[in-house]
Amino acid sequence: MPQSAFLQTKFLVPRKNPGWLTRPRLLKQLDDNASKRMILVSAPAGYGKTTLLSDFANSEEINFAWYQLDAMDNDPSVFLGYLVETFRRTLQVDNTQKSMPFGSATLALLENLEEEQVGYQHILIVLINELLEIIGNHWALVLDDYHLITNLAVHQMVDYLLENAPPDLLFIISSRVTPPLRLAHLRARGMLAELRSEDLRFTSQEIEAWFRIQTTEISDKSLQLLDEKTHGWAAALQIVLSSIQRQDIESTEQFIAGISGAHRFIYDYLAEEVFRRLPSDWQEFLLATSVLEKMNDEICNALLNREDSSEILEDLERSNLCLT
């Protein structure tokens, strides 16, 4: 796969929004666990996962390799090709002292996969051996938006890398759902750290610090109400902050008092970033049950004349959806 075929922006650490609040408590959690094999950052859309990791990448002295995943990376060959290119670009490999540039052996096997009659595990072994030759100090690989990976073969590759990659490589995986990797195995060996939505929620102190930096036109009462209504959800806080710019204290109080999921900008965000990305059968289920104030499997089965509501509700819960 020639370099010109790679989408260059998939290797870039995202830029930080200049109005975003740096969060020392979370950066410390990441730093304290940098010696583990994997850090999982898993939460629904809008919790600031990517922003946090870009802050971490820019604040640390260790090398960071950033790989922004998308649906095309479900092809194992595409995934491996981009993975090699990620290492090539970010580890600043000195190829002058090597007979072959880093990744050459791995890419040669990929390009002749059918002719060589080798499996992906053999290609991974070659990649791991190539990595061992270039590793110096501690460094990290970020796999962002991992929830877009649905191919079991790619999950198995990542599991193999987690088990066999050089010990100085930290994997940081960001995902809206808990990935189907061997997390229990890593957890039992003390090699896994996890940041979930409970960790990523803005505390009342962080909300106050962020809003005080951005505007003076907000009262203590409004800050308390904002905490109660948003539960520290970063996307909602950003929407509110954008909406109250250049408003006085009274107008800000009225706006925050009226916040709900029906607010136009919050509704648009949920529709675009959450609902439209769901499988069609989940969409139909959620639309049909949206009339309910409370629901369980029995109520849903009775309403929809079906028998599998329990399984769907469990799938929705596992997918980290913001359901209340």
pLDDT tens track of the chain, all 324 residues?
556 689 999 999 988 777 788 899 999 999 999 999 999 999 988 899 999 999 999 887 778 899 999 999 999 999 999 999 999 887 655 454 555 788 888 988 888 876 666 789 999 999 999 998 877 678 899 999 999 999 999 999 999 999 999 999 999 999 999 999 999 999 999 999 999 999 999 999 999 998 888 876 788 888 998 898 888 988 888 888 877 777 788 888 887 877 765 456 565 655 666 667 677 887 788 778 877 777 888 888 888 888 888 888 877 776 665 554
> Under a CB-based contact definition with an 8 Å cutoff, are residues 103 and 178 in contact?
no
> Under a CB-based contact definition with an 8 Å cutoff, are residues 71 and 203 in contact?
no
Q: pTM of the full predicted structure?
A: 0.81
Instruction: Name the 3-class secondary structure at 121.
Output: helix
Amino acid type, 87: F
Quote the pLDDT of residue 93: 54
- The Cα-based distances of 30 to 56, 125, 141, 196 in angstroms read 8, 29, 13, 12
Find how far residue 41's CA is from the centre of its chain. 6
Listed in sequence order, the residues at least 6 apart from 164 whose beta carbon sits closer than 8 Å to its beta carbon are 124, 125, 128
Q: Which CATH class is domain 3-200?
A: alpha beta
- Alpha-carbon span 200 to 47, nearest angstrom: 6
